[in-house]
Amino acid sequence: VPTRDPKEWTWEGSQDGQAWQRLDHRVDEEPFPQRKLKQTYHFKNDTPYRFYRLTLLANHGEELYQLSEIALEGVAISPADGSAPVAAQAYR
């Protein structure tokens, strides 16, 4: 449902899960032109973070949001146990 697609959101990183740094902010994004579409959003980030957070701020008119998957790209891989920070430069 295109009216549930995110229209405005922030992408943030944190070392401790308490203090967050804004890495990306999107405003007035159009609904996705088709379903099951992969969209990529690039941002500048040289700092590895332990935590990443996506906050959806607005959609295209519905009470509910829809989003099926998030993937970090351009990532320096760390141990799978999450013990080391990861530096992401894109998400989709």
Amino acid identity of 86? V
Cα separation, 44 vs 51, in Å, equals 16
pLDDT at 54: 94
pTM: 0.78
Cα separation, 52 vs 35, in Å, equals 25
pLDDT tens digits for 3-22? 999 999 999 999 999 999 99
pLDDT tens digits for 52-90? 999 999 999 999 999 888 888 876 656 566 666 666 666
pLDDT at 17: 93
Name the residue ranges covered by the structural domains of the chain: 2-91
Strand order, beta sheet including 51-59: 21-26, 6-14, 51-59
pLDDT at 69: 86
